[in-house]
Chain A
Amino acid sequence: MKIRVLMAKPGLDGHDRGALVISQALRDAGMEVIYTGLRQSPKQIVRAAIQEDVDAIGLSSLSGAHNVLFPEVLRLLKESDAEDILVFGGGVIPIEDAVKLEKEGIKKIFTPGTSTKAIAAYIEQAVLEEKGNESPLLEKPSGIDHIGIAVRSIEEALSFYLNHLHLEVEKIVEVPDQKVKVAFLPLGNCKLELLEPLSSESPIAKFIEKKGEGLHHLAVSITSIDARLRQLQREGIQLIDAQPKIGAGGYPIAFLHPKNANGVLVELCEPGTEGTEQ
């Protein structure tokens, strides 16, 4: 069954570029979207949501009226026994307001710059959770994707792995964002990643400075990285990356904070979704 979303503009502001772009993106993600048009009162929005039997409402406001109008939508949903309809929001919403609104029951406020894919994935997951469908989606980690080893120089480090262990180099790539060069060495079902800093500001350079060369991180293969990150976040696990990014292997990854795991830096990887996320 398709997820149904009501996209609404409460209040008087006429800036509906965001609402229209998100509507289109959710449709492209396979949802059914009904857009209310401009200047809808909370009452009209809730009435439309119930009539259209939607799973979620997206509210967009750029005028600063969100603190009054969003909670009013929640109140009216409650009054109509329709609290199972999830409410999301976006627009020009200062972070303190976003925190407050989420406490009051808005499922999530998306801040400017959030990718439409992330929004679609979040809504999909949240609706499935609301319907009690979350668990089958989160499969157990299937194995170790790779082990990261921090080295000062890949060239110097390779000798041991190539000449003595007889491994081979699959490829060497540079990741300018992370200021790091990475050599991939296949090893059975997993890989070794040799990580060489490209500048002194690289996280790898800082790691080496603090702890010296050696084991840097452990990467586990998982599925549904967005959902997994939300589950971890809900459970109070500290994340380094709240949103997945594309790793050196070309698929989505995210790091968890080492203090969750006795000082081990854990990376989640979702191979098989090559470069399509974000």
Chain B
Amino acid sequence: MSEKYYEDWQERTNKEIEKRPERKTSFSTSSSIPINRLYVPDDMGEQYLSEIGFPGEYPYTRGIRRTMYRGRFWTMRQYAGFGSAKETNERFKYLLEQGQTGLSVAFDLPTQIGYDSDDPMALGEVGKVGVAIDTLQDMEILFDGISLAEVSTSMTINAPAAVLLAMYIAVAEKQGVAKEKINGTIQNDILKEYIARGTYIFPPKPSMRLITDIFEYCTEKTPKFNTISISGYHIREAGSTAVQELAFTLANAIAYVDAALEAGLDVDEFAPRLAFFFNGHNQFFEEVAKFRAARRMWAKIMKEKYGAKKEKSMQLRFHTQVAGSTLTAQQPDNNIVRVAIQALAAVLGGTQSLHTNSRDEALALPTEDSARIALRTQQIIANETGVADTIDPLGGSYYIEALTDELENKANEYMEEIASRGGAVSAVEQQYMQREIQRAAYETQKKLEKEEEIVVGVNRYQLDDEPQPELLRVDDRLVEDQLQRLQNIRETRDNEQVQISLQKLKEVAKGKENLMPSIIEAVKAYASIGEICHALRDVFGEYE
């Protein structure tokens, strides 16, 4: 392009701006990347083949599949779970009937932190943010009438991921489904729990061992199961910028790969089962660019740093959930619009699966109506807009490509800093990421209060009389039922067998042998999640 034309245009434009100023004196993204008035061909890097390339081919900037959504749409996977296993089972069946294509289980906090429903620590929390699972019996009820051979299930479970995976395998066996056939994902990403989400149990070292034990076991026994979902989602929800989300997630991923290599695994054996989980946030183009940058960065890391050979090892597959923290309690129907736009960014960024939030999540757990609208939002994007009919439609946009490059550069700077601190595990222990996120969160809040950032209905366009929507309440009687069922199991199971299996688990935990087989054994004896995690706490200690 002729530079002179561009310079002339800029000059004429600057004159005009003197008379009619723009809305702001400068524009920037969530990650403080300056946004130019206009992007032109010169803003794009010149190496199309090496930096952008073709879908399904290295470095996968444009997507990991050759046909992307022309082949099939992303998996529509709504996170659900509340109260008891029976109620959640009903919600699952409802969502499957409505055309949802994968399940995603939300567990309550006691389950996520390895406490039984009758533990004093569980007071007030049973069945609140997800389903309560104490023993294999609850898991059997959760998947009653749903064939594990046909459905893929994502489980948001981290510290006790091995226990829930063991239960899932045991349910499959009872249904007569071979382990090799089960398909799904466990989140199993402990580093981001220390950084942002808070459901850790054990200290980092034994936690990393549990993770690599799962990698090893699954590579052999459940080859279709994703062994980890390395998550930027919660890092972003805790207040990070897009660049931090990208950098911290990939830094954590590197730590998991290093741990697996150290445990003697082969990179091309386990890397194809690593999955990622990102946030779909508000800044539309920055989000699209973030997903594209993530794919390119991961491909380079796997190829150049780890010498991976298999294509699947280099392909970053990811789930997206739109940003819960952007939902407002004020005028909650506006959230439907926010969710639609965030979801569109995820689709244009090439996500493999997607959860769209419900409009009422800033107020309570979603009602059935709200959950249906959220699913319909994805179905409209898929079926009515045509955005899925060509691959990476924003690829080649001067702005998108420039932003993709810039996000990659900025994220690399963070990753170098983390590497210089001894990697993600050390950086977590030094509270480095935690502090960076906290700083960004506070900055965002201050911008809102100074109205440098506008949230419709919150700091502008407020309503004086907010109507109160119908909210879902978790029935407190469910807690009684859950406690009763746990009591019954404790009385009717073979308690001697339970004690033997827990004792054995402790022995294995003290040594180096893979933990999975003895966890599966304990689960099948109907040992509860609390009992299993307490046995491990005795050996591993707890993270403070």
Q: A63-B128, A63-B129, A68-B124 are in contact. Are A20 and B328 (CB under 8 A)?
A: no
Query: How far, in Å, is A247 (CB) from chain B's closest CB?
Result: 15
**Chain-A contact segment, one of B165-173, B179-187, B362-370, B412-420:** B362-370
State whether the Cβ of B193 lies closer than 8 Å to any Cβ in chain A.
yes
Q: Would you call B125 an interface residue if the criterion is a C-beta within 8 Å of the partner chain's C-beta atoms?
A: yes
Let me know if B177 is at the binding interface, CB within 8 A.
no
- Tell yes or no: A111 within 8 A of B by CB: yes
Which of A9-17, A79-87, A153-161, A162-170 touches B? Answer: A9-17
CB atoms of B198 and A38 under 8 A apart: yes
Contacts of B330 in A (CB 8 A): 112-113
Question: Mask for A84-125, Cβ within 8 A of B = 1, else 0?
Answer: 000000001011000000000000000111011100000000
Contact with A along B110-135 (1 / 0, CB 8 A): 10110100001111110011000000
Q: Which of A197-217 contact B (CB under 8 A)?
A: none
- Contact of B125 with A63 in the complex, beta carbons under 8 Å: yes
Q: Do residues A16 and B129 form an inter-chain contact, with CB atoms below 8 A?
A: no
- Whether the pair A240, B110 counts as a contact (CB closer than 8 A) is no
Interface size on B, residues (CB 8 A): 44
Q: Is B487 an interface residue (CB 8 A)?
A: no
Q: How far is the CA of A115 from the CA of B445 in the complex (A)?
A: 8
* Size bracket, chain A contacts: 20 to 34
Contact present for B123 and A68 (CB under 8 Å): yes
Q: Chain B 427-446, CB within 8 Å of chain A: the 1/0 string?
A: 00000000000100110010
Q: Type the 1/0 row for B94-109, where 1 means its CB is closer than 8 Å to any CB of A.
A: 0000000000000001
Nearest chain-B residue to A245 (Cβ)?
Answer: B462
**A115 and B123 form a contact (CB under 8 A):** no
Whether A95 and B468, one on each chain, are in contact in the complex, defined by CB atoms closer than 8 angstroms, is yes
Q: Bits for B187-226, please: 1 = Cβ < 8 Å to A, else 0.
A: 0000001001111000000000000000000000000000
**Shortest Cβ distance from A15 into chain B, in angstroms?**
7
**Cα–Cα distance between A13 and B197 once the two chains are bound (Å):** 8
B350 proximal to A (CB < 8 A) = no
B337 part of interface (Cβ distance < 8 Å): no
Contact with B along A1-35 (1 / 0, CB 8 A): 00000000001111111001100110000000000
A24 touches B329 (CB 8 A): no
Residues of chain B lying within 8 A (CB to CB) of residue A11: 109, 123-125
Interface string of A39-75 (1 = CB under 8 A from B): 1010000000000000000000001111111001000
Question: Is B124's CB under 8 angstroms from A94's CB?
Answer: no
A41 to B328, CA, bound (A): 29
CB distance from A74 to the nearest CB of B (A): 14
Q: Are A69 and B124 in contact (CB under 8 A)?
A: yes
A92 touching B363, Cβ below 8 Å? yes
* A235 contacts partner chain B, Cβ-Cβ < 8 Å: no
The answer to whether A14 touches B438, judged by C-beta atoms less than 8 angstroms apart, is: no
The closest CB in chain B to the CB of A240 belongs to B464
Question: Which chain B residues lie closer than 8 Å to A72 at the CB level?
Answer: 123
Say yes or no: is B458 at the interface (Cβ < 8 Å to chain A).
yes
Contact at B364–A14, with CB atoms within 8 Å? Answer: no
Residue on A nearest B196 in the bound complex, by CB: A14
Query: Which residues of A sit under 8 angstroms from B329, Cβ to Cβ?
Result: 111-113
Distance in Å: Cβ of B156 to nearest Cβ of chain A: 12
Which among A15, A67, A112 is the interface contact of B328 at CB below 8 angstroms?
A112
B-contacting residues, A115-173, CB 8 Å: 115-117
Q: Is A273 an interface residue (CB 8 A)?
A: no
A260 partner residues in chain B, CB cutoff 8 A? none
Interface pair A21/B445, CB less than 8 Å apart: yes
Residue B449 at the chain A interface, CB threshold 8 Å: yes
B81 within 8 A of A: no
B460 CB–A CB distance under 8 Å: yes
A89 to B474, CA, bound (A): 21
Task: Return chain A residues, CB-CB under 8 Å to B124.
Answer: 11, 65-69
Nearest B residue to A14, CB-CB: B198
Q: Are A92 and B362 in contact (CB under 8 A)?
A: yes
* Chain A: minimal CB distance from B435 (Å): 10
- B residues within 8 A CB of A38? 198
Report chain A residues within 8 Å CB of B120: 41
Query: Is B263 part of the contact surface with A, judged by Cβ < 8 Å?
Result: no
B237 at interface, CB cutoff 8 A: yes
Say whether B362 contacts A15, CB under 8 Å.
no
Instruction: State whether B193 touches A20 (Cβ < 8 A).
Output: no
Contact of B471 among A21, A68, A94 (CB under 8 A): A94
Chain B residues near A278 (CB, 8 Å)?
449, 459
Residues on B with C-beta less than 8 A from A64 are 125, 128-129, 364-365, 474
Closest 4 CB pairs of A and B: A14-B198, A68-B124, A65-B124, A12-B109
Further pairs besides A112-B329, A113-B329: 8, Cβ < 8 Å: A12-B125, A13-B109, A13-B125, A14-B198, A17-B325, A20-B441, A24-B438, A177-B461
Chain B residues with CB under 8 Å of chain A are 109-110, 112-113, 115, 120-125, 128-129, 193, 196-199, 237-239, 325, 328-330, 362-365, 438, 441-442, 445, 448-449, 455, 458-461, 464, 468, 471, 474
